[in-house]
Amino acid sequence: MRVDVFTLVPHAFAWLTEQQPIAGVLGRELELRLFNYRDTTPLRAGQVDDEPYGGGAGMVLRVDVVAAALDAVYGGPPAHRVVALSPQGGQLTQEVVEELAKETHLTLLSARFEGFDERIVEHLCTDSLSIGPYVLSNGDLPAMVLVDAIARRLPGALSEGSGELESFSAELGGRLEYPHYTRPAEFRGWRVPEVLLSGDHARIESWRKEHVR
């Protein structure tokens, strides 16, 4: 899968690319390309945003700047999905992640300040996604959240089985995974449930099923 991210701070993604499981699938199942709107802006001095029509605070990412960036990379409107990261978009859920992880090519657009000129979302994007009902300063963390969530669903990202029985998965009916414990078996009087120490796999399995939340 190829994911292209358009941003003003490509270097911010360096941290993400060093983390597992992304580092493990980069260059294999995942190709991540980063593009800076400033490199292709048709405006002078690297300008990418402008004052809002009608007045008010903040700056808005210009439609001609985003169109120029997409044209430079794809030579016209891309045939694949283009996602604007926006608090006004549809909510990102595990179901949406699973759906996007099946795409072969995906483009993510990040904005800052007041956000996108609405024509970008209307005419240059196929989707608009929010990572939650709160406002962040820019779309780079949301883009990283989406890349991380997608990357861990790609073949070979996780060890066998660990990606299927997870919170929000279809296998758990969208519910939350059972609790996990590790050594020590007792700490400050807090004991691990006895059944998990029993070695009785059938009992452990049914305890886990009961504790899916």
Ligand X SMILES: C[S@@+](CC[C@H](N)C(=O)[O-])C[C@H]1O[C@@H](n2cnc3c(N)ncnc32)[C@H](O)[C@@H]1O
Work out which of 36, 94, 138, 169 binds ligand X, going by CB under 6 A.
138
Contact 120, 96 (CB under 8 A): no
Does position 52 interact with ligand X (CB under 6 A)? The reply is no
Crossing angle of helices 94-101 and 140-151, rounded to 10°: 70
Under the binding rule (CB under 6 A), the answer on residue 137 touching ligand X is yes
- Our finding on whether 112 is near ligand X (CB under 6 A) is yes
- Identify the residue among 68, 110, 117, 158 touching ligand X (CB under 6 A): 110
Q: How far apart, in whole angstroms, are the C-alpha atoms of residue 61 and residue 69?
A: 12
Asked if 47 interacts with ligand X (CB under 6 A), we say no
- The yes or no reply on residue 116 touching ligand X (CB under 6 A) is yes
81, 33, 41: which is closest to 65 by C-alpha?
Answer: 41
Contact 93, 68 (CB under 8 A): no
Give yes or no for residue 111 binding ligand X (CB under 6 A).
Answer: yes
- Interacting residues with ligand X between 62 and 91 (CB under 6 A): 85-88
Q: Rounded to the nearest whole angstrom, what is the least distance from the CB of residue 146 to ligand X in the complex?
A: 9
Regarding 134 and contact with ligand X (CB under 6 A), the answer is yes
144 binds ligand X (CB under 6 A): no
Residue placing its CB nearer to ligand X in the complex, 41 or 110: 110
Nearer to ligand X among residue 78 and residue 87 (C-beta): 87
Q: What minimum distance in Å lies between the beta carbon of 134 and ligand X?
A: 6
- Interaction between residue 132 and ligand X (CB under 6 A): yes
Q: What is the CA radius of gyration of the chain?
A: 21
115 contributes a contact to ligand X by CB under 6 A: yes
Dihedral-angle region of residue 15 (phi above 0 means left; psi in -120 to 50 means alpha; beta otherwise): alpha
Number of chain residues interacting with ligand X (CB under 6 A): 20
Which sign, positive or negative, has the C-alpha torsion 149, 180, 18, 136?
Answer: positive
Question: Which positions touch ligand X (CB under 6 A)?
Answer: 85-88, 110-112, 114-116, 130-132, 134-139, 142
